[in-house]
Amino acid sequence: MYSMYPPPLPHEFHDTPSGGHLGLGKTLAALAARMWWPHMTRFVKAYVTSCATCQWAKPSQQLPAGLLCPIPVAERPWAQVSMDLITNLHVVDGCVSVVVFVDTFSKMAHLFPTTKSVTAQNLAALFLSHVYRPHGLPDRIISVRDPRNMSNMFTSLFKRLGTSLAPRGWQLP
């Protein structure tokens, strides 16, 4: 579409050291002060937005990350367990994911194959059979997963253990 216009024009006003990759507005203003052609704005916009240097050096528009909160040190083995799901692996026996339970005290890990769309009930069953039975219920479970999924997992785990969750202020039946 833009092959009828010579490509060195935007290059001279945008990519050279004197141009300095100053963005769409300044590149277009510098070009428009010296020349004009039909659809010049569209051409310069396409050129500047496809500039690899500008895309690489573009400043982040996200808020800065908050302060780091270190994980407290566990006092005994299996008192604190971290849990994560590694997905998009090669398919082996229909499983493309691995659920990982790691004791933060001893760094001992249990890895179990599962599907990418593992349900909270299946995750609770894996936790119950591979962490709770051999090591007991940890004091703290750390996970970076979705809070709703974790809530469903704990609800399912409590149901399997025969435990009811009663937040402070609730009346037990």
How many secondary structure helices (H) and strands (E) does the chain include? Answer: 7, 4
Is it the case that residue 108 has pLDDT exceeding 90?
yes
Q: Please identify which residue in the block is written with the tokens 């979705």.
A: 146
Is it the case that residue 39 has pLDDT exceeding 90?
no
Q: What is the mean pLDDT of residues 37-55?
A: 85
In the structure, what pLDDT confidence band is assigned to residue 2 with cuts at 50, 70 and 90?
A: very low
> For residue 81, how many C-alpha atoms fall within 13 Å in the half-sphere facing its CB?
20
Residue 101, classified by CB atoms within 10 Å of its CB into exposed (0-12), middle (13-18) or buried (19+), is buried
Answer yes or no: pTM beyond 0.85: no
